[in-house]
Amino acid sequence: MPTITYREAGKLAVQEAMQADPSVWCLGEDLGRGGVFGQYAGLETEFGDDRICSTPISEAAIMGAAVGAAMAGTRPIVEMRFADFALCAIDELVNQAAKARYMFGGQVKVPITVREPMGMWRSSAAQHSQSLEAWYTHIPGLVVVAPSTPADNYGLLSTSIKSDDPVVYMEHKNLWDVSGDVTLGQTLPLGKAHIAKHGGDVSVVTWSAQVHTALEAAEILATEGIEIEVIDLRSLWPWDEDTVAKSLAKTGRLVVCHEAVGVSGFGAEILATISERYFGLLKRPPIRVTAPRIPISYAPNLENEVKVTAKDISNAIRQMD
């Protein structure tokens, strides 16, 4: 069980998949140089430039080539550099990859894994900092994954590459250097949440980098005698309703937090589902803790104003008594 970084865990998952299956290959900008965050470092040397393909600067061309190659029988890993840039390829992903299996009556499949680095990262400003996971959960045919730890990045990416459905795989840029133990050879199922911390007072549901923020809030609140249960969804579609419901049966209180804008964010879907199907478990109205609906600034002081912090989560939880 080596201790490696989130970045290294993702790279290892790709490396092992390519070693095991010659139909797995990667394409995207600057992959031969290791990728913008170093998550492909050294892979071109091992596999050659026909399997680690550095492409022209055209996200639409990258995604379109991957969709066609997937329909022809390969398993492309598509690197979009930033989640924001993937919007240039939204038609190829949403109108083609997501729908092809259905529209052709199951005669073809599109087994692509689309890696989209997401979230705020050291003054990257409005066009390089967004968390757009809710856009993809809205689209039938897409799987959406957002790992929070090195172990999850390794296990979930390994599973995603083997999936016969298109997976939007969202890795948070602030987690690249986070270290943790990883069990080699261990894959993780899509759609199964992880309880990052057990507690009996409030259920906090989150994903990606916000898991670590929620755990900070848990430490703060524990000094006040409040024990929160932190649920890391890991997969946003499918998402693990059962684990959330079982936690609510114990706590009766629900807080959902995410870095993305609150308006139409995935937290709204969670609250709506809980209110419709599990309303009887709630002792208090559920709460969302999210970013406001404004662009993300370059200036650090303004960027900090839209971040969801452990203090924000703690204050929301204190309101539930």
For 241-286, what is each residue's pLDDT tens digit?
999 999 999 999 999 999 999 999 999 999 999 999 999 999 999 9
pLDDT at residue 321 above 80? no
Identified catalytic residue from 29, 92, 128, 133: 128
Q: What confidence tier does 140 reach under pLDDT thresholds 50, 70, 90?
A: very high
Residues 241-269 as b or e (16 or more Cβ within 10 Å = b): eebbeebbeebbbbbbbbbbbbeebbbbb
pLDDT at residue 194 above 90? yes
Whole-model pTM? 0.96
Tokens 């390829």 map to which residue?
A: 89
The predicted pLDDT at position 234 comes to 98
- DSSP strand pairing (143-145 vs 235-237): antiparallel
Is residue 128 part of the annotated active site? The answer reads yes
Q: At what angle do helices 6-20 and 150-162 cross, to 10 degrees?
A: 30
Please tell me the distance from the alpha carbon of residue 151 to that of residue 18, in angstroms, as a whole number.
19
Walk me through the domains of the chain, giving residue ranges and CATH numbers. Answer: 3-181 (3.40.50.970), 194-318 (3.40.50.920)
Nearest Cα residue to 9 out of 114, 163, 156, 173 = 156
Is residue 258 part of the annotated active site? The answer reads no
Identified catalytic residue from 8, 29, 59, 171: 59
> 90: number of CA atoms within 13 Å, CB side?
11
Please tell me the distance from the alpha carbon of residue 248 to that of residue 245, in angstroms, as a whole number.
5
The predicted pLDDT at position 1 comes to 84
